[in-house]
């Protein structure tokens, strides 16, 4: 069977991990926001802004890590905007999120056209190279899949560990989770609900932007319009699929990416040639909707998600 | 920081803050122009001239406003009942697909009958497209924001498949483009010689229709009640689920009419770039209109003017036309903030 050959090849899993990496960053970003009680629909636009910023910073002469940092900062700036409007002012998280996506997207395209008015095809940069981990990369199947990746992929996995550690093993994480479940209890302890939520939205938005930057600095080496192509919305579904838990969401992202890698390969098989390619391209979106339906019954939604908090109001 | 509701905001507050939001948008636009190395006032002047400076410009703005009125109404109707339909883009394409399916000679009906039948079929399919996410929300509690957004991508890929496969125009020189509508399925121009089709007048009629439904019928009252407080509405014995479904059908149908009017009135055939995001811009249109159906007409004209004006300005002095998208997004954020500040007082501590 062709499918089994594909599933047992290391290159297939290496591709799946590569496809998962930007989703992991952005899913962790969305997860942080939502655990603190804020739905961040700015994700799609922030990923686009991050993809452009990281790539453009390197194109302008910065080293690769500085490019990632710039993307992070731009993401945090959009997070500050989103957080200011939704947390202290308590405005509709739906409307503000979409507004931030539209603003980040259009500002990115505006800046791109301004910075590169005459190019027909966007310039390329020297992207992150693969970085095989000594010894570990020698393990059969697992080695080439997990340990022959770019540094940004390792960073994505480290981010999951860091988010899980902070959320479940530190006082800050406890406060963050509490602020998404019962903000009044956090206030009663003398902590600032506004500060915690605003910080979470900024940190989360920064991660979303780094997820976008992965596309232009690791997966590809150039910036294209539409390159994020709905990945942000898919990450929102992945958070639900992962029941708002970091490791489960990571598993969801890898599973999802494996399906995506599989459809790319199936397109090249004799059976795939008979199916319109659009059907394959639809699969990620259809899968996301199916995942949402599947998980809806046992969703453990943070109790205060999308509920603004106004001090003194009960 | 604490927000304190003001019992009686007064006229100064009610109108002062939204006016300030518009002023802030203009300042934002001028800052972007300055960043682009252009003279801000010149950019503003060229945009106004490009949007309303000549008969041609004005007609272009009215044409561009037509689909925005439909999608703006679709969003306004849905948001009023707190049904977050972000999928007007998908419903628009659904309407366009049906228009091509029935309007290219496949449906043999006498002329005057064909046009309304195609329009109704388009609206029905658009309504059906939103019925999916609405049902998922009611049955499984799946957030319709995410599902409608995901549906936009699925629908666009579906249209891409149709245009490269079964709906591809054999005479289209290999371009992914549908066949042309037969003349009987086209919306005529309002006046001979003027480049403005009946879709614009129908959009105005639709706006009045939605206004009547919202303010003069039981359904409109129920939709508002559900939007204000679904728990209270259910407690009061309103069939919340059924009202949501009706809202979804109305909203999806309106968005689909945007696709129908664009194909039947303006383009004559379907391509993958039929809509430069009319569905998403409809959200801005509806929010700027405070979800008021008659306000939607005014804000659609304004938004269309900004886009048409920016295109013309961009051709003249090269400031990227994305300035229009950026300043519309900024206007949306400024406006929601202004509307809040008009009715609350911000207190320290």
What are the pLDDT digits (tens) for B227-255?
Answer: 998 889 989 889 999 999 999 999 999 99
- B268 to chain A nearest CA, in Å? 25
B326/A114 touch (CB, cutoff 8 Å), yes or no: no
Greater pLDDT, A181 or A270: A181
Residues of A in contact with B287 (CB under 8 A): 95
B150/A102 touch (CB, cutoff 8 Å), yes or no: no
- Residue A312 binned pLDDT confidence (cut-offs 50, 70, 90): low
What is the residue range of A226's domain?
2-114+150-296
Whole-number Å distance between alpha carbons of B11 and A183: 35
B136/A292 touch (CB, cutoff 8 Å), yes or no: yes
Q: What backbone phi and psi angles, to 5 degrees, belong to B277?
A: 85, 30
What per-residue confidence (pLDDT) applies to B192?
80
Tell me if chain B has a CB within 8 Å of the CB of A90. yes
User: Stretch A275-284: mean pLDDT, rounded?
Assistant: 90
> What does the pLDDT look like over B104-114, one tens digit per residue?
988 888 878 99
> What does the pLDDT look like over B182-198, one tens digit per residue?
999 999 998 887 889 99
Q: Find where tokens 């037969």 sit.
A: B182
Residue A221 is part of a domain; what is its CATH number? 1.10.3470
Considering CB atoms only, which of B35, B280, B337 is closest to A89? B337
**Percent of chain B clearing pLDDT 70 (strictly above):** 100
> What does the pLDDT look like over B100-146, one tens digit per residue?
999 998 888 887 899 999 999 999 999 999 999 999 999 998 989 99
Q: Is A189 domain-assigned?
A: yes
Concatenate the DSSP letters of all residues of chain A into one string.
-HHHHHHT-HHHHHHHHHHHHHHHHHHHHHHHHHHTT---TTHHHHHHHHHHHHHHHHHTT--HHHHHHHHHHHHHHHHHHHHHHHTTS---HHHHHHHHHHHHHHHHHHHHHHH-TT-SSPPP--PPPPEEPTTGGGSTTHHHHHSEE-HHHHHHHHHHHHHHHHHHHSHHHHHHHHHHH-HHHHHHTT--HHHHHHHHHHHHHHHHHHHHHHIIIII-SS--TT-STTHHHHHHHHHHHTTT-HHHHHHHHHHHHHHHHHHHHHTTSTTGGGS-HHHHHHHHHHHHHHHHHHHHTT----TTTT----TT--
> What does the pLDDT look like over A56-81, one tens digit per residue?
999 999 999 999 999 999 999 999 99
Q: Name the residue in chain B with its Cα closest to that of A193.
A: B1
Return the residue in B160, B320, B331 with the most chain A beta carbons within 10 A, the one to mutate for interface testing: B320
Q: Is the pLDDT of residue A94 over 90?
A: yes
Q: Is the pLDDT of residue A314 over 60?
A: no
Say what the alpha-carbon torsion angle A23, A26, A32, A37 is, to the nearest 10 degrees. -100
For A177, the token pair is 């989770």
Q: Is A124 domain-assigned?
A: no
> What does the pLDDT look like over B204-215, one tens digit per residue?
999 999 999 999
What per-residue confidence (pLDDT) applies to B111?
74
ipTM value of the model?
0.94
| Mean pLDDT over the full length of chain A | 92
- List helix spans (H) across B173-277: 198-216, 218-228, 230-235, 240-261
Q: What backbone phi and psi angles, to 5 degrees, belong to B202?
A: -65, -35
**Percent of chain B clearing pLDDT 90 (strictly above):** 81
Widest CA span of chain A, in angstroms?
65
Q: Is the pLDDT of residue A96 over 90?
A: yes
For A138, the token pair is 């020698």
Whole-number Å distance between alpha carbons of B326 and A104: 8
Q: What backbone phi and psi angles, to 5 degrees, belong to B346?
A: -90, 120
> What does the pLDDT look like over B275-316, one tens digit per residue?
999 999 999 999 999 999 999 999 999 999 999 999 999 999
- Residue A55 binned pLDDT confidence (cut-offs 50, 70, 90): very high
Q: Which of residues 154 through 193 in chain A touch B, CB cutoff 8 A?
A: none
What residue ranges do the domains of chain B occupy?
70-289
């Amino acid at each position: 069977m062709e499918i089994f050959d594909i599933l047992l090849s290391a290159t297939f899993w290496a591709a799946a991990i590569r496809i998962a990496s930007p989703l992991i960053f952005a899913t962790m970003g969305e997860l942080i926001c939502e655990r603190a009680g804020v739905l961040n629909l700015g994700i799609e636009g922030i990923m686009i802004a991050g993809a452009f910023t990281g790539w453009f910073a390197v194109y302008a002469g910065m080293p690769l890590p500085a490019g990632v940092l710039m993307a992070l900062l731009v993401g945090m700036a959009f997070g500050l905007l989103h957080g200011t409007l939704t947390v202290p002012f308590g405005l509709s998280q739906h409307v503000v999120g979409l507004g931030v996506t539209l603003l980040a997207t259009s500002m990115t395209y505006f800046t791109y056209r301004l910075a590169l008015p005459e190019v027909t095809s966007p310039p390329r940069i020297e992207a992150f190279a693969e970085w095989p981990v000594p010894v570990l990369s020698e393990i059969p199947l697992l080695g080439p899949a997990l340990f022959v990746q770019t540094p940004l992929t390792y960073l994505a996995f480290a981010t999951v560990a860091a988010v899980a550690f902070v959320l479940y093993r530190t006082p800050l994480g406890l406060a963050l989770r509490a602020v998404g479940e019962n903000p009044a209890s956090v206030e009663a302890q003398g902590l600032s609900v506004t500060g915690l939520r605003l910080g979470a939205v900024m940190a989360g938005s920064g991660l979303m932007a780094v997820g976008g930057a992965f596309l232009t600095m690791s997966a590809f080496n150039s910036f294209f319009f539409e390159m994020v192509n709905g990945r942000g919305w898919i990450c929102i579904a992945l958070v639900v699929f992962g029941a708002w838990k970091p490791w489960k969401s990571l598993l969801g992202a890898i599973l999802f990416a494996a399906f995506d890698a599989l459809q790319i390969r199936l397109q090249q098989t004799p059976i795939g040639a008979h199916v319109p390619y659009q059907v394959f391209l639809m699969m990620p979106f259809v899968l996301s909707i199916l995942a949402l339906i599947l998980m809806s019954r046992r969703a453990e939604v943070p109790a205060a998600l999308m509920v603004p908090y106004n001090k003194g109001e009960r | 920081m604490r927000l304190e509701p003001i019992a009686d905001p007064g006229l100064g507050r009610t109108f002062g803050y939204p006016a300030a939001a518009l002023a802030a948008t203009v300042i934002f636009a001028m800052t972007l122009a300055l960043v682009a190395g252009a003279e801000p006032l010149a950019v503003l002047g060229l945009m106004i001239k490009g949007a309303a400076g000549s008969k041609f410009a004005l007609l272009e703005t009215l044409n561009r406003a037509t689909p925005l009125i439909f999608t703006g109404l679709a969003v306004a109707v849905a948001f009023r009942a707190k049904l977050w339909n972000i999928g007007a883009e998908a419903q628009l394409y659904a309407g366009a697909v049906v228009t091509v399916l029935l309007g290219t000679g496949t449906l043999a009906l006498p002329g005057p009958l064909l046009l309304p039948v195609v329009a109704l079929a388009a609206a029905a399919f658009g309504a059906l497209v939103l019925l999916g996410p609405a049902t998922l929300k009611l049955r499984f509690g799946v957030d319709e924001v995410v599902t409608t957004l995901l549906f936009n991508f699925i629908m666009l890929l579906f249209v891409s498949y149709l245009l490269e496969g079964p709906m591809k125009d054999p005479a289209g020189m290999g371009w992914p483009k549908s066949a042309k509508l037969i003349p009987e399925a086209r919306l005529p121009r309002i006046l001979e010689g003027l480049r403005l089709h009946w879709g614009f007048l129908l959009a105005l009629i639709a706006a009045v229709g939605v206004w009547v439904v919202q303010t003069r019928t039981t359904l409109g009252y129920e939709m508002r009640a559900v939007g204000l407080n679904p728990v209270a509405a259910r407690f009061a014995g309103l069939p919340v689920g059924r009202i949501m479904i009706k809202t979804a059908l109305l909203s999806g149908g309106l968005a689909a009419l945007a696709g129908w009017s664009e194909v039947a009135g303006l383009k004559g055939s379907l391509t993958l770039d039929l809509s430069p995001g009319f569905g998403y811009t409809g959200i801005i249109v509806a929010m700027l209109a405070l979800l008021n159906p008659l306000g939607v007409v005014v804000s659609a004209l304004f938004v269309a003017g900004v886009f048409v004006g920016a295109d013309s300005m961009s051709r003249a002095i090269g400031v990227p036309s994305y300035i229009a998208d950026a300043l519309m997004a900024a206007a949306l954020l400024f406006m929601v903030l202004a509307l809040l500040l008009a009715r609350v007082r911000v207190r320290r501590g």
